[in-house]
Structure 1
Amino acid sequence: MIRHFLFVFLFLSSPARALDLNLEGLVGAVSVEDRVWQRIDLRPRLRYGALEASFDLELFIDGEGKIRDRGWDFSSRRRGLESVLRKIHYIRYGLPEDPTRKAYFRVGALDRLTLGNGLIVRDYRNTFGHPGVKRTGIDIQVRGLVWESLSIRGFLNDAVDLLDRGSPLIGGRASAVSVGGLEVGATLALDLDQLSSLPDSVRSGAEDDAYGAYGVDLAYPLVQGRNLFLTVYGGVARPVATTRKGTGFHGPGLRLVVGKLSARSEVRFVRGAFEPDHFDAVYEQTRVYIADDGSIVTREAGVADVDLNGFLATVEARDVGIFGGAVSYQHLVGGGLDDRFLRGKLSVRPGFLGPFRHVSLSEAYLEMRDRAATPAGFFEVNEDTRFGYRFGLRPAGRVSVIWNMEFSYEPDGAGGFERRRTLGLQTVFGL
């Protein structure tokens, strides 16, 4: 079995096997724990067929001009693991959406990870707080391992949590296509300890607090053409590792793909203590926090026990004309409460900017959610609010300047929220 996995991961690459190696340097200001430090990063990149790897050799300099030991601290087992693993920017083989490859894996930063139709895990990312906090995630997918139509995928958010405390966020999905094209899938996501991101001095001996969800789903293709796909789907999910009971349903839903445009719409029902899209893009931000009274509050505690009905709609365009982007909106109501979220991203293709030929990157994003247990209104900021932008210039052939600004919110200890700014202003140059 081990030899089989090694063969799948390392030798089923594309025919072109030439080793491609290049080196980049990054210099600039970044936010580290609400402070602005200077970061110097030497980033070697290599490619061998479908295998790609990028590494970070970093130095951080604080506001007083002192070189900090972040990334080079081996004073404890955990810090040593963090220092070694944060050297990995990413290691990747293939792409998860490529049906021609039997295997895919990625080690390092995870972004926009969705399992199935997203009722449990949707657009999850482990990059919150980067580069000050760097999680080394693992995402693996194998097709045709037992029989041809079987696909198995699994992920974990941080290898340090696995190796040090044995309590990462893990998730997995198995799906298979039966006669007639009907796809049947099962998904599980489990946070083995919602408190794992807290320092030992804060959690003060508190026991591990696990929470997760599992579910099954079906999808059936109504239309399959060269540039047109229409699928009907639905599913059900329930929480696990908790005494609270609840069920979430989604469907019937329709997913339409026309060339580079895709759209989906689904009916959603919640009965009891269940939260759709629980493991989302802001999960690492809202996983656990310290309340105004000093108590520890987990994301699970914010799941309301209520019956809700509503819908989710999503539209995505991949480089259609001058623009690319996506927008999703959920609206669930019931019991005098509601659960709504709005997520959007917009980018402008550099080639269509005309006279602004030096602009290499231009995008903005917004995420906001008013969960059923949140007393604030939909347009009031809370811990689920995140927005920002990325802007890049290429003044010379191998030189780029990237401006990355993100805003999020965390409890201020007085019943409100304070804004947290994460800054990245770096010059990238090829060597």
Structure 2
Amino acid sequence: MERSVQGAFGAVTIDGKIWNQIALRPIIPIGKISLALDIVFYIDQDGNIHDDEWDFSSGEKSKNSIIDKIYYIRYGKNWDPFYFQIGALDHVTMGHGILVNNYSNTILYPQVRKVGMEAKFQAFGLDFYGFTNDFKENFGLTGLRVSGPAPGGIKVGGSIALDRNQYLGLKDSDSDGRPDLVDDFPNNSNYWLDTDGDGLADVLSEELDIDGDGITDTLDSDVPGWPLDTSIVLDTDIIRKPEPLNVDEKVRSISALSFDVSKRILTEKNMNVSIYAQFAALIGETTDPISGRDTTLGTGIIPFGLSTKLGPARFNFEYRMMPSGRFEFGYWDRSYEIERATFTSTNAGSLTGADVGQIITKDSRLGKFGKQKGYFSTLSIDLGSMIGASMSYQNLFGQQWDDTSNSFIEDRNQSFIASIGLKKPISKITSARWYYQQRNVPNPFEFEFTESTISGYRIGIKLGNGMILNYIFRQSFRDIDGDGKVNGPEETINMTSIETSFSF
């Protein structure tokens, strides 16, 4: 690969605000290694620079800002015997996907920039694979897999995955340990509590009425014009918001292991057929919706799986079982970084406009799944030489928690994922892709959005003189108010980017 520089300019949406973008991405070959940097400036209409990417105010923030400049470091291709890539991870799957299936660390880019790694190599007659989601999290989410041949033409494999602290997925702008979702002062590391929402921190002497009930808490020297040396307590029943989560002090981890066996039963020209089976266990705790207490996570079994390739088509079919529930197939998927940790809120009684709540991790919600079984299928097909498409569908049936009746009922647990895109340019359209995902809902075809819903598209149009106009849109959702539903613009995450890229 030759040394080159790619550039881009345009506009991008970050946290609901439009920023002008200027980016340079130099590609530097070092032997068989390719290093690409991502040097980007986001500038608003007033000329202010988005400083998250250029924050050197502390050692930790300096480290993160430097890591963010890595677009990728790559050796080889992912089908080579030895391969590694540091940077964006878009389609991470381990084995047949019972634990990690199409995980991506770019789903919140550019609002959240993650620099992960995946690598694979062969040694001792075995295949080794590993990944981590983000070096800034110091190996927050990590997966390892080993597979190899066994007698009789059988291939066996084992995988482990660990998220050492699911709270690391929450944005903390001021690095005070309190995530922005529960930090009343997300850009000030000195304060994080404002019970009555009046803009004054509870600990400030100027805050004379902490709970906003109209009664001055204490008459003392902090009150302007107070003439006495003594203090008089007026409000004896001050209601305060609880201390928010501090991710530097509290950890909630989840791990998992899986085993699989497979065998190729037919190999012909442009055709092969394999069968496989998988077992996985999630290790950790979830909340029992009946008792409200913690209970152990469950297991998932795929006693029979079929994988076929016939010319341009690939088809998979699986029979799936959750013997005790409290499990999710493909737990680490494309939307994991959104569902990893979210917020649930309740109104704090008499507090004026103050909502209090707690951070809810994805594993804590698995208790809603009871004993279930059903099937999963996926089809990928090339429509001629121009278009590629894929579709996946899961249909499980069994016990599922119903919030209305406060009991387990018999219901369906369905997922639907689809994508279609160009394989090569058509006239001036250099690239085009559309995708949609919704997982673990009673009926995905009602298109009622949840935090597992992701959709988007990307179109590239050739302008001439080596310049390409890229239009990128992605929509996802986050349940900010914790009511179990996503609605309104505050809970919709729209990422729009219009950029013109070029090389020189």
TM range, normalised to the smaller chain? 0.7 to 0.9
**How far did residue 371 of structure 1 move?**
4.4
Partner of 1:161: 137
What is the aligned partner in structure 1 of residue 21 from structure 2?
39
Give matches, 1:15-414, under 5 Å: 19-47=1-29, 50-98=32-80, 101=81, 103-143=82-122, 145=123, 147-148=124-125, 150-162=126-138, 168-198=140-170, 199=172, 200-202=177-179, 203-204=245-246, 207-242=250-285, 243-272=295-324, 273-293=326-346, 294-303=357-366, 304-318=368-382, 320-335=384-399, 336-351=410-425, 353=426, 357-371=427-441, 379-413=447-481
Do residues 430 (structure 1) and 503 (structure 2) align?
A: yes
AA of the residue aligned to 2:415? F
1:61-96, Cα deviation, whole Å (9 max, x unpaired)? 123221232322111233212210111111111223
Secondary structure class of the residue paired with 2:152:
helix
How far residue 302 of structure 1 moved from its aligned partner, in angstroms, is 1.8
TM-score, L = length of structure 1: 0.87
| Conservation of the 8 A alpha-carbon contact between 2:261 and 2:277 | yes
Conserved 8 A contact 1:233-1:253: yes
**Equivalent-residue separation in structure 2 for 1:382 and 1:221 (angstroms):** 38
Instruction: Give the direction of change, closer, same or farther, for the CA distance of 1:95–1:180 in structure 2 (3 Å limit).
Output: farther
Deviations 1:211-263 (A, max 9, x none): 12111000000012342211000111111133514110113111011233211
Q: Distance in 1 between matches of 2:51 and 2:449?
A: 35
C-alpha displacement of 1:309: 0.5
- Is 274-283 or 37-46 further displaced after alignment? 37-46
State the identity %: 27
Please provide the CA RMSD for this pair.
2.0
Do 1:24 and 1:428's aligned partners in 2 also have CA atoms closer than 8 Å?
yes
Q: Distance in 2 between matches of 1:142 and 1:190?
A: 21
| Uncovered stretches (5+) of structure 1, i.e. residues with no partner | 1-18
Of 104-113 and 289-298, more deviation after overlay is shown by 289-298
How far does residue 350 in structure 1 lie from its aligned partner after superposition? 4.4
**Structure 1 residues 319, 59: closer, same or farther in 2, change over 3 A?**
farther
- How far apart, CA to CA, are the structure 2 residues paired with 1:401 and 1:64? 25
Indicate if the aligned counterparts of 1:370 and 1:378 stay in contact, CA closer than 8 A: no
Distance in 1, Cα, partners of 2:306 & 2:29 = 38
Provide the C-alpha distance between the structure 2 equivalents of 1:47 and 1:177, rounded to a whole number of angstroms: 36
1:421 and 2:464 aligned:
no
Provide the rounded CA distance (Å) in 1 between the counterparts of 2:420 and 2:466: 26
Q: Rg: which structure is higher?
A: 2
Q: 1:395 corresponds to which letter in structure 2? A: L
- For the structure 1 residues 234 and 271, does the alpha-carbon distance in structure 2 shift closer, same or farther, using more than 3 Å as the test? same
Letter in 2 for 1:172: L
**What SS does the corresponding residue of 1:196 show, helix, strand or coil?**
helix
Matched to 2:279, the amino acid is V
SS at match of 2:475: strand
Structure 1 pair 371/195, CA: closer, same or farther in 2 (3 Å)?
A: farther
User: Residues 419 and 209 of structure 1: is their aligned pair in 2 closer, same or farther, counting only changes over 3 Å?
Assistant: same
For the 8 Å contact 2:454–2:475, the answer to whether it is kept is: yes
Q: Distance in 2 between matches of 1:414 and 1:264?
A: 36
Alpha-carbon separation, structure 1, partners of 2:444 and 2:387: 33
Q: 1:39 to 1:330 in 2, by over 3 A?
A: same
In structure 2, relative to structure 1, the CA distance for the partners of 1:341 and 1:224 (3 Å cut) is same
Asked if the contact 1:91–1:107 (Cα under 8 Å) also holds between the matched residues in 2, the reply is yes
- In 2, distance between residues paired with 1:75 and 1:140? 32
How far residue 301 of structure 1 moved from its aligned partner, in angstroms, is: 1.4
1:264–1:68 distance in 2 versus 1, CA, 3 Å: same
- Measured in 2, the distance between the counterparts of 1:106 and 1:322 equals 28
CA distance in 1, matches of 2:74, 2:382: 22
Q: Is the 8 A contact 1:171 1:188 kept in 2?
A: yes
1:350–1:362 contact (8 Å) kept in structure 2: no
Q: SS where residue 79 of structure 2 aligns? A: coil
TM-score, structure 2 normalization: 0.75
Q: Deviations over 1:145-180 (max 9, x none)?
A: 2x22x0111111000111xxxx50011110011233
